Copies of this chain bind each other. A is one copy, B any other.
Amino acid sequence: MITRSQLQLAQDRAAKMLVSVGIDITPIERQNIEVAELGLGELDRTGLQLVVYVNTDRYCAKELILFPHQTCPEHRHPPIADDPGKMETFRCRWGRVWLYVAGEQTHNPQCKPPEGSEAYYTVFHEITLNPGDQYTIPPNTLHWFQAGPEGAIVSEFSSTSRDESDLFTDPRIRRIPEIAD
């Protein structure tokens, strides 16, 4: 649950980050910046902000805006009917982001899961994304990511997004925002 004033504050903060790095969005996109609060009530720590540029039945493109040290928690994109699950490419545009996927656990990883939620993080193979770096996540594969100390802006190129079908490891998470009036 997020209040309208929390939503607007987060939208303002994300919009300022985009402006500061020279990424232009339209007034309507600005107004519709999605704040994925995820229902844990700790947006600064767990959640993310999104500008959806396009989402057709063939492909999708978004800009992900992460506040400093903000974590997008562990999840996967499962198969749905004929779709084998969303495949996505993260390309870091600004800041730094650490991505964790299934595979050999990285020694001394740069990030820790948010305190109190450790039980819901199970993959620890670390990939560092600096500006210009990218990584493609296969369908139906667990992953999570956390921004560095300045935050991060990440372009996501993918097959069709069906956010409501995302499966989070943490059962408390609600992907679709609920806004308190």
Render A64-103 as a binary contact track against B, CB cut-off 8 A, 1 for contact. 0000000000000000000000010101011000000000
Chain B residue nearest to A22 in the complex (CB): B22
A24-B131, A155-B155 given. 12 additional CB < 8 A pairs?
Answer: A23-B93, A24-B93, A26-B133, A53-B89, A53-B134, A54-B136, A56-B87, A58-B87, A59-B87, A59-B157, A59-B159, A61-B89
Total count of chain A residues near the partner, CB < 8 A:
28
> Does any Cβ of B come within 8 Å of A173's Cβ?
no
Q: Write out the residue numbers on chain B whose beta carbons fall within 8 Å of the beta carbon of A54.
A: 89, 134, 136, 157
| Cross-chain contact A61 with B61 (CB below 8 angstroms) | yes
User: What CA separation (Å) do A157 and B22 show in the bound complex?
Assistant: 19
CB of A149 to closest CB in B, whole Å: 19
Q: Write out the residue numbers on chain B whose beta carbons fall within 8 Å of the beta carbon of A21.
A: 22
User: What CA separation (Å) do A87 and B159 show in the bound complex?
Assistant: 13
- Give residues of chain A (13-50) contacting chain B, Cβ–Cβ below 8 Å: 21-26, 29
